[in-house]
């Protein structure tokens, strides 16, 4: 629609254009990105991100998109997807959790779910972290986006299969969206099917937990 990923506003014409394009192509709109750095060291940046997230959530509701995806953030002020040594400080978790709490207050009246994704460079790095956060929030609107390639930095095929299998079991019943992204053993991202992730095993395990949601490929 020619808009930034976190816009100040979304014109009615843009919503109409997206809706018409989805219907014309038969493409399902399963999620909308609402990522900003929820652990940014500058609280003003977090406030601005939350304001823009509210716009994204409202847009998702108007387009009947069930899920808005989030970034649990990092203390890295330059890049929300880059690691920072202070990410493990309890204050980083506290700041992120407060943002999630505020976001849920916006999402719940709109009937939109929020998806957190375990990501090695962010505050929520693992399935365990994601379940902890869901428990703290106590909201059924907080869901998980599970990307197998984001559950580890470097691993061989056997190690990757074990890590992914354990994560799928841990988050069973909480996953709304799965990603098909891959890694080589040395940590570089790869085209799905070219790396160490066993997608047949990943998908089979997801199905065994009752997951019947979308699987989205991305770079």
* pLDDT per position as a tens digit, 44-84: 999 999 999 999 999 999 999 999 999 999 999 999 999 99
- With a pLDDT cut of 90, the percent of the chain lying above it is 98
Six token digits for residue 70? 């989030």
Residue 203, domain extent: 147-219
Q: What is the pLDDT of residue 218?
A: 83
Please state the rounded mean pLDDT for residues 162-168: 98
The per-residue pLDDT for range 138-162, each reduced to its tens digit, is 999 999 999 999 999 999 999 999 9
136 and 152 fall within a common domain = no
The per-residue pLDDT for range 200-215, each reduced to its tens digit, is 999 999 999 999 999 9
31 and 131 fall within a common domain = yes
Q: What is the pTM of this model?
A: 0.96
Q: What is the pLDDT of residue 206?
A: 98
d(CA 212, CA 208) in angstroms, rounded, equals 10
Number of domains into which the chain is organized: 2
Check if the beta carbon of residue 210 is closer than 8 Å to that of residue 174. no
Whether residue 12 lies inside any domain: the answer is: no
> pLDDT tier at 15 (50, 70, 90 boundaries)?
very high
Domain-ending residue, one of 146, 178, 194: 146
Q: What is the pLDDT of residue 1?
A: 73
Domain-ending residue, one of 146, 172, 197: 146
Q: What is the pLDDT of residue 2?
A: 83
116 and 193 fall within a common domain = no
Domain-ending residue, one of 126, 146, 166: 146
Q: What is the pLDDT of residue 205?
A: 99
Buried b vs exposed e over 145-163: b needs ≥16 C-beta within 10 Å?
Answer: bbbbbbbbeebeeeebbeb
123 and 29 fall within a common domain = yes
């Amino acid at each position: 629609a020619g808009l930034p990923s976190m816009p100040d506003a979304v014109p009615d014409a843009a919503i109409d254009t997206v809706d018409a394009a989805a219907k014309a192509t038969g493409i399902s709109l399963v999620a909308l990105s609402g990522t900003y750095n929820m652990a940014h060291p500058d609280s003003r940046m977090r406030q601005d991100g939350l304001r823009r997230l509210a716009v994204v959530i409202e847009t998702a509701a108007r387009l009947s998109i069930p899920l808005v995806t989030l970034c649990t953030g990092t203390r890295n002020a330059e890049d929300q997807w880059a690691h920072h040594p202070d990410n493990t400080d309890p204050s980083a978790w506290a700041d992120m959790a407060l943002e999630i709490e505020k976001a849920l207050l916006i999402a719940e009246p709109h009937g939109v779910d929020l998806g957190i994704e375990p990501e090695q460079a962010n505050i929520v790095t693992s399935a365990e972290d994601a379940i902890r956060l869901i428990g703290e929030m106590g909201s059924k609107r907080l869901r998980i986006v599970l990307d197998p390639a984001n559950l580890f930095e470097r691993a061989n095929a056997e190690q990757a299969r074990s890590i992914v299998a354990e994560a799928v079991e841990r988050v069973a019943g909480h996953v709304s969206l799965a990603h098909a992204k891959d890694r080589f053993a040395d940590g570089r991202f790869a085209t799905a099917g070219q790396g160490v992730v066993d997608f047949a095993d990943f998908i089979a395990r997801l199905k065994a937990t009752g997951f019947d949601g979308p699987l989205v490929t991305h770079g």
